[in-house]
Chain A
C-alpha cells in the first residue's frame, strides 16, 4: 500500500464509450501525475498537476481529459479512444516539485479499448 489508490484496476471500453479513471492520494502531497505505460515502451508522462493547477501537458490527444478538483484527487476522463490507447495508466504523487523527492505510484488501471 503506497498511499495512492487507483480505480478501477481493470477497464474494458468500446471506442465510442466515455469512462473515467480515478486516483486518490492520502499522503498530503501537492503534485500529481498521470503516466501511460505501454508494452515495450518507456513510461510516458501525460499530465502534471501542482497545487491543482495543470503544469504539464505532454502533447496528449484531446480524447484524454484530466481533472484535478483538489490536491488529493486526480481524474482522467476518456472518450472516443483508439485501440492503441490500451495500456496501463499509472497515477503518481510527490510532496512537491523538488528534484530530490520520490514519486509514489498507484497500482494502475489496465485499460483495454475494443
Chain B
C-alpha cells in the first residue's frame, strides 16, 4: 500500500522567510511523488514531481523538493516566502490506479 502523510495542517511564515512543508511517504515500491498547490476556490495545480530521475526536484514559483529515501521524505521548500504563496499545499503519490493525497498544509504568509 502507498500513502503520504503531511505533518502540520497549518504553517505560518514571515514574508521573506524560508518555507518548509513536510511530507513523508509509505511505499513498498519506488514511489512517484507530487506536490500540488490549491488557491481558494480553485483546482489543484502541479508544483513539481519526483519520478526517480533526480533526488532534488525544482518546480514552479521557486519551490523545490528533495527525495530522501532513507527518511522516506519529500519535503517542499522555498528560500523566501512571498505573499502570493499563501495557499493550501498537497503532497501526493500515484499508484497507477489512483493518486493518494495528504490532508494538506495551509500556508499563511505574514507581512
Interface residues in chain B, defined as those with a beta carbon under 8 Å from any beta carbon in chain A: 32, 34, 36, 41-46, 49, 51-52, 90, 94-99, 101-104
Contacts and interface: CB of A to CB of B under 8 A. Distances in A.
Nearest to A42: B103
Contact of B44 (A48, A55, A105): A105
Contacts of A66: none
Given A4-B43, A100-B94, A103-B99, 13 more contacts: A2-B43, A43-B99, A48-B98, A56-B97, A90-B43, A97-B96, A99-B32, A99-B94, A102-B49, A103-B46, A104-B46, A107-B42, A108-B43
A42 B102 CA distance: 6
Interface string A13-29: 00000000000000000
Contacts of B49: 100, 102
Interface in A69-114: 88, 90, 92, 97-108, 110
A45 interface: yes
Interface string A31-54: 001000000011101001000000
A105 to B, nearest CB: 4
Nearest to B90: A43
B45 A2 contact: yes
Given A99-B94, A102-B49, A107 B43 contact: yes
A98 B99 CA distance: 11
